Structure 1
């Protein structure tokens, strides 16, 4: 053993998935393969040993380290999901990361009663791996989903399809699809129309001046420009000619925001942000990704947050305007996870109280002797319990999704396709890096608690 240690150096990767061997000097006597194998086993390596590489090492001096053992990497499962069944080819682009043709995304995907609007794609099971020490490395299981009806949709008998019960417009969320009626404004929003709060989708074929408020359960589509207004969409927001907010108003959405440019805007969405031209001196927060790379594609000034990554052509400008980019799990995600956890706990407690109340009503009365007012009370308690159960199921889905984001981060990246100027700062969680020289075509990512910069090929 002593002689082998003097002749060969073995290094183990940090993740214990690979062992490399380097020869330090020529052996004075022949070393047998069995002796080298015994030495490797003695230091704990028991899986994925490459005998042919050991034989190669014994056959002559090895100048470069060679891989002599390699573990089996786990294969993560793939979550079940809903595949939307859009009625037109153009609407299908709404699910892709390269969305940007606003003339097409403003086309409303309308469906008729009885149409299949979505299908369940079943999960793919995970496979565990094993490191070179023979220790199982767990793969991340895929999560299943149960199709549940959205607004004006029902689940088919097979539990694999969602069907519309009205004529209307589809709104796609992560785990449910709605079909909403449409409220249309044929021109600019003005005092004759006033603020809009609608249970379906809103389609405005003109501009929205400052001071107005728009709220929709579904999508909001604006064919003109938007000034400093309050907008909230239960689905996504599409703005053809861009946002000129002058630091006023706020746009929030449970889905995506797709627009040409954002100037001094305040944006917060649960999905992705797609911007054709520029994000200027704005606050932009996306639980998904930010894409600003189809046209000019620059971000100048302000703060841009994206949990899953940012892809942009230019960051900052030649005047070195301070520009901050934040990538990874956002504080709002952590706060939302804590809030949903508390709401879930309260709902579970409410359900237990409702069960006790129902048991008390049932035990104190024989069914034949229950007076009408008690029967009504019993029915109300049961209906309340069903509502609470549905709420708990929805909260658990949201909580699990947020847990995935926090516990299994997606290794987000910041991709600069053209140039990033000095005085730009890059943040990955609590880690920060300031750009002091102009860099071209680079990729930033977090590696071992350090923000690394690589040149894009």
Structure 2
């Protein structure tokens, strides 16, 4: 694959090499007989490759764990949650003011009270949904901590391996290694 753009919903199997391409796979990328040279490769769970980079030290970026997608989604959910909490606070204040006036016989105020209660129920349901999504993202983040890069031959210099905000640029050639995140540090361990 040369200068391609691929987004896979699950796994991606590459027969030969990935050259200067933008590749994203939600789960695993397998390129066991070929090379990854140049471009940006993003794998959710793991990437297995024969060689990463090349002898010419071509800049290659390998991102694991899809943390950047989760962070964007998480930030959007936090913003929405904050807006809903503000809306909920306003609805509660409105409800208290309507009760304090005591015009329960007035049909217009009664209708306004019912609309306020219905709006409050809707906002509470939306908040529950957002809290559930945030909980699921927390589980995804835990799962992504197990992501790894396995290089079966050479990991060349000038390859950047990133796990969310933690990244490491390889400064010397490595052979037969596994790159993973442990205790918020990018570790390179031998396969044997």
Asked if TM exceeds 0.5, the reply is yes
**Structure with more contact order per residue of length (Cα contacts < 8 Å, sep ≥ 6):** 2
Note if 1:283 corresponds to 2:22: yes
The 1:376–1:450 alpha-carbon spacing in structure 2 relative to 1, beyond 3 Å, is closer
Q: Residue deviations 1:385-426, cap 9 Å, x none?
A: 22211211121122233345567863332123x434524332
Note if 1:422 corresponds to 2:161: no
TM-score, length basis structure 2: 0.71
Q: Residue deviations 1:18-72, cap 9 Å, x none?
A: xxxxxxxxxxxxxxxxxxxxxxxxxxxxxxxxxxxxxxxxxxxxxxxxxxxxxxx
* Paired residue secondary structure (1:281): strand
Question: How do 1:118-157 and structure 2 match up within 5 A?
Answer: none
Note if 1:353 corresponds to 2:93: no
Match of 1:374 in 2: 109
The 1:410–1:422 alpha-carbon spacing in structure 2 relative to 1, beyond 3 Å, is closer
Could you tell me how far apart the structure 1 residues matched to 2:180 and 2:42 are?
15
Could you tell me how far apart the structure 1 residues matched to 2:132 and 2:34 are?
35
Match of 2:74 in 1: 337
Instruction: Determine if contact 1:305/1:330 at 8 Å carries over to the other structure.
Output: no
- RMSD over aligned CA atoms reads 3.6
Could you tell me how far apart the structure 2 residues matched to 1:379 and 1:318 are?
68
In the TM superposition, structure 1's runs of 4+ consecutive aligned residues that sit over 6 Å from their partners are none
| Rg larger in structure | 1
Could you tell me how far apart the structure 2 residues matched to 1:324 and 1:349 are?
41
Unaligned runs of 5+ in 1: 1-260
Instruction: Determine if contact 1:309/1:327 at 8 Å carries over to the other structure.
Output: yes
Could you tell me how far apart the structure 2 residues matched to 1:431 and 1:317 are?
16
Question: How do 1:218-229 and structure 2 match up within 5 A?
Answer: none
Note if 1:396 corresponds to 2:131: yes
The 1:361–1:447 alpha-carbon spacing in structure 2 relative to 1, beyond 3 Å, is closer
* Paired residue secondary structure (1:411): coil
TM-score, length basis structure 1: 0.34
